[in-house]
Amino acid sequence: MDLGEFEADNSVSCRLASAIPAVCKTEDCCLGIDEAGRGPVLGPMVYGICFCPVAKKEALKDLKVADSKTLTEAQREDLFRKLDEAKSFVGWALQILSPNTISTSMLQRSKYNLNALSHDAAIGLVQFALDSGVQLKEVFVDTVGPAEKYQEKLSQRFPGVEVTVRPKADSLFPIVSAASICAKVARDHSVKDWNFPEDLGEVDADYGSGYPNDPKTKAWLLKELDPVFGYPQFVRFSWSTTQTLLDSKAVTVHWDDDEEDGEKAAARQNNTSMLSYFKTGSKTSAQQGNTHQTHRFFTERRLQSLATL
Amino acid sequence: MTTKKKRTPHSQNDRWVVVAADSAVETPKKDDGDPTFIRLRNPSTDAASLYLLGSGDVQLYEVKAFNEDFHSWFIGQTVQRDGRLLYVTPMDPLYLLLPYLIKAGEEGKFQPVDQVVMDEDFPACTRLLSCTRSQASLHHVAEEKEVGSQKFQRYSQERTMEWLKKKAERTVKTLRKSNISVGEGVKSTTYVRVKQESETQEEDYLRYAHGLISEYISEELSKALLKHLQLPELSSPKEVEPPSKKRRLTDKPLEAGEDYTKFNSSDFSRKPPKKMSAAQKTLAKVDKTGMKSMSAFFSPKGKAEKK
C-alpha cells in the first residue's frame, strides 16, 4: 500500500483510493464501511470502504476475507494484496484522519466529537463512491454509537441506497471485512514508520500498539513529554490519557475558553448583583468619584499605565 | 520603530517586549547616560506611573502596556508567560510639571522652576527640567519674568486653558485623520460600517479629545477645561428620576400577580456554581449531538415507537 500522499503531510486528513473497476459503474454494487484506530492515543484513525458488484459477493467470500481483528498482521497484508489483485471487480477508498485532525477537532471551541467525526468520514467516503460513478445499492456499516440513529442518518443522507448498520458487521458481511482489512493495513503502515514533522532529533520508535493501556505506549508518553509543547502531532491531545499527563507533568496553559476556576470564578462571584444597578442612591456615584475612570480610548485598546516593570 | 528586550536581574520578570520610538533607544552620545525608566507622579491619578527618559534626559516618554488575559510570547527559543506589549511613546513633559506649578502658584509669587519642581516621593522629577521642551514651553502655562540671567515663573490658569484648548483641537484633528470612532454608544472597531459616520459631530470629537487629555491632567483641570471648551456637562442617566407611575384605572385594591419579594433582599447574589469533579467537567463539555439521552432507555416502548 502506498501511503506516500499521507506521509507527505501527516498533519491533515487524506484520501487514498484504488482505481474504480469498470463493472462497478454499470452493475449494482454493495459497499462496506469500517474503521481502524479508534481507540489508540497514538497515530491516525483510518476509515475504509470497499465495494464490489452485488453479483460478485461470493467471489469475495472465496478470498476468505474475515474480520481484521481475528487475523495476524501477515495475514492482513496477504489479504490486502489479494484484494488489490482483484481490482477487476473490487474497489476501495480510505480516509486517513491524522491524529492532529482528531486533536484539533475535538479540542476546538465548538467541540466536534469523535462520533461526529467518524460519521462524517464515512459519509464522505460513500459520497466519494457515488461521485465516482459506483452504482451503489447496498451499504453495510459497523456501528458507531446507537445503530438505529446512525442507520437513520445514513439512509436520509443517501436516499435510494439500502443502509444496514449492524454491530459486528465486520464479521457478518465479507464486504465490511474487506473494508476493515484496508483500513487496518493503512493504519499499521502509517504508525510503523511515522514521519515526525517536528524537529525532534532521534525519537524513540518503540511506542508499542498506541493503545492507552499498553505499557510501552505509557512509558513512551512519559518519556517524550515536553513541558511547553506537550507532544508531537503523532499523539492525540484530546485523549484523557494525554490530558492527565499534561495536567500533571507539563506547564499549565490557560485558554480563554477554559472553564473558570479559582481566581476568575471568585472574581465573578464578587460581581455586583444586577439589582444594584436599579438602586437609586449615593453608593454608586461615590464609588465613581473615588476611582479614576480610564478613558475608553485606552480601555478599548487594553492599554494600561504601569506603576512598575 | 524597533523592538527591544530589556533585562534586569532582580525583577520577577527579566524581559519585556517593547515597542519604542527609535529616538527613545538611541545609543547615548558621549556620557549622556542610558535611557532610563523612572517612576513619576501621574498628574491624573496622583499615583506612581512609569515613564522613560531618553538618553541625556532630553525627551520624555510615557510607558503603556497592552495587557489582555490569556496571552504569552514566544521569543526566539523561549516562552514568556507575560504576554504584555509595552509601548514607549513621546510625551510632553509639561503635563508632569503642571501639578508642581499649580501648587506653587497658590502662593501667587514668581519663583524659579527648579525651586518648584520638587517631590519627596518622586525625587527623579527634577530630571524633567532638563528635557528640551520643558524650559521652552513653560510660558504656555505660566507668566514669566526675567531678572538678570534668571527666569521666574507664576502659574496662569488662563494660559493653561488656552494651551489645553490647543491640545484638544490638535487631538480632534488627529482623531479625524486616524478614523477613530468617537460617537456615543458601543461600537466595535472590527465592525465595518457601510454608511460613513457623517452624523458624528464636532462636539463628539471635542468631547472625546477632552477625555483623552483628561488622562494627563488633574480632575479639577479637566472640569475647568470642559467649561473652557464650552462643552455642556453630561447629565448622568442615574440622576434622572424614574418616570412617575401610571395612574390607577380602578379603585379596587391592587394585588401583585406574582410574588417577587424573595428576590428583593439586598444580599441577593449569584450562587457559586456547584463543585464538579474533573470527570464531570469533561463530561459536560462533550458534544452530545447524535447520542441517546439516558431517559430514552426508560421511557415506555409504545411512546418511543410513535415518535
Using CA atoms, how far apart are residues A226 and A244, in angstroms rounded to an integer? 14
Contacts of A272 (CB under 8 A, 6+ apart): none
pLDDT at A201: 76
Given a contact cutoff of 8 angstroms between Cβ atoms, the answer to whether B158 and B221 are in contact is no
Contacts of A45 (CB under 8 A, 6+ apart): A35, A36, A37, A38, A96, A97, A102, A117, A118, A121, A187
Section B269-278 average pLDDT: 59
**In this complex, which of A228, A269, A285 lies closest to B272 when CB atoms are compared?**
A269
**In this complex, which of B65, B214, B219 lies closest to A295 when CB atoms are compared?**
B214
For A258, the grid coordinates are 477554559
Q: What is the least distance, in Å, from the CA of A18 to any CA of chain B?
A: 32
pLDDT at A47: 95
User: Looking at the predicted structure, is the pLDDT value of residue B51 above 50?
Assistant: yes
Span A96-136, pLDDT tens digits:
999 999 999 999 988 898 989 999 999 999 999 999 999 99
User: Looking at the predicted structure, is the pLDDT value of residue B238 above 80?
Assistant: no
List the single range of A184-193, B76-85, B226-235 with lowest mean pLDDT.
B226-235
**In this complex, which of B48, B65, B285 lies closest to A303 when CB atoms are compared?**
B65
pLDDT at B149: 85
Interface of B with A in 210-249 (CB under 8 A): 211-212, 214-215, 219, 236, 238, 242
Span B124-136, pLDDT tens digits:
999 999 888 888 8
Section B145-168 average pLDDT: 92
pLDDT at B7: 36
**In this complex, which of A273, A295, A303 lies closest to B211 when CB atoms are compared?**
A295
Contacts of B87 in chain A (CB under 8 A): 303
Weakly modelled stretches of chain A, pLDDT under 50: 281-290
Residue A111, number of CB atoms within 10 A of its CB: 15
Residue B52's pLDDT band (cuts 50, 70, 90): very high
pLDDT higher at B298 or B50? B50
Contacts of B205 in chain A (CB under 8 A): none
pLDDT at B295: 76
pLDDT at B268: 47
Query: What's chain A's length in residues?
Result: 309
pLDDT at B23: 84
Subunit contact A307:B79, Cβ cutoff 8 A: no
pLDDT at A283: 42
What's the mean pLDDT when you consider all of chain B? 79
CA A26-A27-A31 angle, 5° bins: 115
pLDDT at A171: 84
- Angstrom CA distances, B220 to B106, B143, B223, stand at 14, 21, 5
- ipTM over 0.95? The verdict is no
In one-letter notation, the amino acid at residue A295 is: H
Subunit contact B48:A301, Cβ cutoff 8 A: no
For B111, which DSSP code? B
Residue A62, number of CB atoms within 10 A of its CB: 11
Q: What is the least distance, in Å, from the CA of A16 to any CA of chain B?
A: 28
From B51, which residue of chain A is nearest by alpha-carbon distance? Answer: A306
Residue B222's pLDDT band (cuts 50, 70, 90): very high
pLDDT at A270: 57
Span A198-222, pLDDT tens digits:
877 777 888 888 999 999 999 999 9
User: Looking at the predicted structure, is the pLDDT value of residue B24 above 50?
Assistant: yes
Span A270-289, pLDDT tens digits:
555 555 555 554 444 444 44
Subunit contact B289:A303, Cβ cutoff 8 A: no
Q: What is the least distance, in Å, from the CA of A186 to any CA of chain B?
A: 28
Span B84-109, pLDDT tens digits:
999 999 999 999 999 999 999 888 88
Beta bridge partners, B230, equal none
Cell 466529537 belongs to A113
Interface of A with B in 266-295 (CB under 8 A): 268-269, 271, 273, 275, 280, 284-285, 292, 294-295
Section B148-163 average pLDDT: 92
Q: CB distance from A189 to chain B under 8 Å? A: no
Q: What is the least distance, in Å, from the CA of B229 to any CA of chain A?
A: 18
Q: CB distance from B186 to chain A under 8 Å? A: no
Given a contact cutoff of 8 angstroms between Cβ atoms, the answer to whether A7 and A195 are in contact is yes
User: Looking at the predicted structure, is the pLDDT value of residue B247 above 70?
Assistant: no
pLDDT at A35: 92
Q: What is the least distance, in Å, from the CA of B66 to any CA of chain A?
A: 5
For A88, the grid coordinates are 477487476
pLDDT at A281: 46
pLDDT at A272: 52
Contacts of A300 in chain B (CB under 8 A): 189
pLDDT at B183: 72
pLDDT at A209: 85
pLDDT higher at B273 or A8? A8
pLDDT at B260: 62
Sign of CA dihedral B211, A301, B166, B147: positive
Q: CB distance from B19 to chain A under 8 Å? A: no
